A and B are shown apart, each in its own frame.
Chain A
Amino acid sequence: AQSVTQLGSHVSVSEGALVLLRCNYSSSVPPYLFWYVQYPNQGLQLLLKYTSAATLVKGINGFEAEFKKSETSFHLTKPSAHMSDAAEYFCAVRSYSSASKIIFGSGTRLSIRP
């Protein structure tokens, strides 16, 4: 069965610093992977998705993620953090048994220090 593990429930960085949120996946087949962002009191919004094309995926708001099969990882990065990036971030994987079902990780809360 597919699953994702997010390392670190809370990450804090200074404004302007590199953001790195970690996600490792488990899948018996080539995975489709996602990163979602959830701002306070809002629903989830898709940041980016990996569909087995380019291994480096660019998303909205300056975020990108790199698929590394050898490390079973799909870490999310942003070169320079902005105060508006403070939110909860979820890594997710598409279910093998159902193309329309996705399985979420437990989330990482990103805080930005002024």
Chain B
Amino acid sequence: EAGVAQSPRYKIIEKRQSVAFWCNPISGHATLYWYQQILGQGPKLLIQFQNNGVVDDSQLPKDRFSAERLKGVDSTLKIQPAKLEDSAVYLCASSFLGTGTGLYEQYFGPGTRLTVT
């Protein structure tokens, strides 16, 4: 089974530029997550999709960050314009949409390391 794919793996941009990250989840996984992981910290959830609808975007800085999952499969996360503090690893994860109160294990991609100079 193929894992979660992300691209690019590394990106260096100057502040005020734009950048986009792409994620392709595991086939059949309805739920997709984008996390921001700043150096020395744990991952912080930015946005969660269920199919192509947004479940939680409460911690997404909406003035500069946007994300979409138009066909309920792959997703893009965009930053425009970037700030120095956006330097981080952006992780994508996916999980199977179960029912009831069971655990929904999240599978992570390798991440995109963004450096804003």
Residues of A participating in the B interface, judged by any CB pair closer than 8 Å: 9, 32, 41-46, 49, 51, 90, 92, 94, 98-102, 104-107
Total interface residues on B, CB under 8 Å, equals: 27
A98 touches B42 (CB 8 A): no
A7 nearest CB across to chain B (Å): 14
CB closest chain-B residue, reference A102 = B106
**B50, B56, B113 interface centre (most CB from chain A within 10 Å):** B56
Query: In the complex, which residues of chain A have a beta carbon less than 8 angstroms from the beta carbon of B108?
Result: 43-45
Q: Which residue numbers of B lie inside 8 Å of A, CB to CB?
A: 4, 31, 40-45, 48, 50, 55-56, 91, 93, 95, 97, 101-106, 108-111, 113
Residues of B within 8 A of A51 (CB): 103
Q: Is the CB of B56 within 8 A of A101?
A: yes
- B45:A44 contact, CB within 8 angstroms: no
Known contacts A101-B48, A104-B42, A106-B42; A94 and B103 CB within 8 A of each other = yes
Q: Which residue of B lies closest to A46 (CB)?
A: B105
Query: In the complex, what distance in Å separates the CA atom of A98 from the CA atom of B101?
Result: 9
Report yes or no: B102 in contact with A99, Cβ–Cβ below 8 A.
Answer: yes
What are 11 A-B pairs at a CB distance below 8 A? A41-B111, A42-B111, A43-B93, A44-B91, A44-B108, A98-B55, A99-B104, A100-B31, A100-B95, A100-B97, A102-B106
- Contact A107–B40 (Cβ < 8 Å): yes
Q: How far is the CA of A101 from the CA of B48 in the complex (A)?
A: 8
Q: Contacts of A90 on B, CB cut-off 8 Å?
A: 42-43
Asked if residues A100 and B104 are in contact (CB atoms below 8 Å), the reply is yes
* CB nearest to A109 among chain B residues: B40
A43 with B103: in contact, given A98-B55, A101-B45, A106-B41 (CB under 8 Å)? no
